[in-house]
Amino acid sequence: MLETDDPAPRRSADSSAPRRSAEPSAPRRSADIRQRVVRTNGVDLHVTEAGDDGPLVVLAHGFPELGYSWRHQLVPLAEAGYRVIAPDQRGYGRSSRPEAIEDYDIHHLTDDLLGLLDDLGEEQAFFVGHDWGSMVVWQQALLHPDRVLGVVGMSVPYPPRTPIPPVKLFRQVFGDNFFYILYFQEPGVADAELGADPATTMRRMLAGIRMAEGTMPDPAMFAPGGGFVERMPEPDGLPDWLTQDELDHYVEEFTRTGFTGGINWYRNFDRNWETTAHLADAKVTVPSSFIGGKQDPVLMMTPPSIGHSHLLDHRGDVLVDDAGHWVQQEKPAEVNAALISFLDEVRLGDTTTSTSSRS
């Protein structure tokens, strides 16, 4: 079941999306999955691809995830007529893991994704992000709108710019209480805790991030002192959407790589703020959409509407029932339908189609 929040389409005078075709995407069958390494922007990115032609769709994962997190989207999107690429982003999986913290700032992350377009000979693409990947693709639409056909955020709505550097703001808000982003700031601390037992870390994170609607987070999550993983409940078992083999894949990869690469993204919050001052008044002019799970605790603290005024051509929010934070893995059929609806709508240039029809 999908629940939608569909604001009236809002467009700026220069925000019409480039289109490759006036016809709907031709369905494809039996799309093959391919893997390779792309050398770009000073790093090697391991990528998984599907589809041979059609508009390009770049899928950007979050923390702690991999390109593997899009395993349920690659073939359906390719069969719908799109060329799809999902990288292990820098710091993750089989991609490079630079040592310098500043090598994980928003400019490196967005440029990595543009490098994939360059490698494929594409001028533009749709960018779809989940969790931290959402923040990357939202910023991509601000930094390089000429290369963005449309943008979709999942689980993390568009974040308006804070009045002061984010980490400084979090310290003011949380004081001596625990907040995971603040905990992640000190190099080596969270890295060691999460990496001490990757199986426990991944099991608790993937199987436990969900809240009943209308409830508030457990106050123990913010109690001073202690670490991050220890605050998360141990699940009774794996949810229906996650098999043991799938969990094992994550565990094997993070056992091999550790978590430092992904945590370093968090250590650039203030740097990102400082280096994007020129975007303080910028708006997202390309077509946009948001997809989230109704039981995602992130959305209970930051509802999708928080960024609507910054999205000039927003096509609506799709909230998926009985889904938590890992929405594209938990409810792939619903997410794929919403994604393809948005992609086709933008490709056709139809600004009248309501997201309330996505079901």
Note if the bond before 64 is cis, omega within 30 degrees. Answer: yes
The two three-digit tokens of residue 286, written as one number: 């390309």
Contacts of 4 (CB under 8 A, 6+ apart): 316, 317, 318, 319, 354, 355, 356, 358
Beta strand 83-87 with 288-293: parallel, antiparallel or unpaired? unpaired
Helix ranges (DSSP H) in the chain: 74-79, 106-120, 132-143, 166-174, 180-183, 189-196, 198-208, 244-257, 260-266, 269-275, 297-301, 327-330, 332-348
Q: Would you please indicate which residues are annotated as catalytic (active-site) residues? A: 131, 325
The half-sphere exposure of 13 on its side-chain side, counting CA atoms within 13 A, is 0
Packed helices 244-257 and 198-208: angle between N→C axes, nearest 10 degrees: 130
The two three-digit tokens of residue 49, written as one number: 């691809």
Nearest to 104 by CA among 284, 263, 213, 254: 263
**Calpha distance 322→324 (Å, rounded):** 7
170 contacts 181 by C-beta, under 8 angstroms: yes
154 contacts 130 by C-beta, under 8 angstroms: yes
DSSP state of 284: B
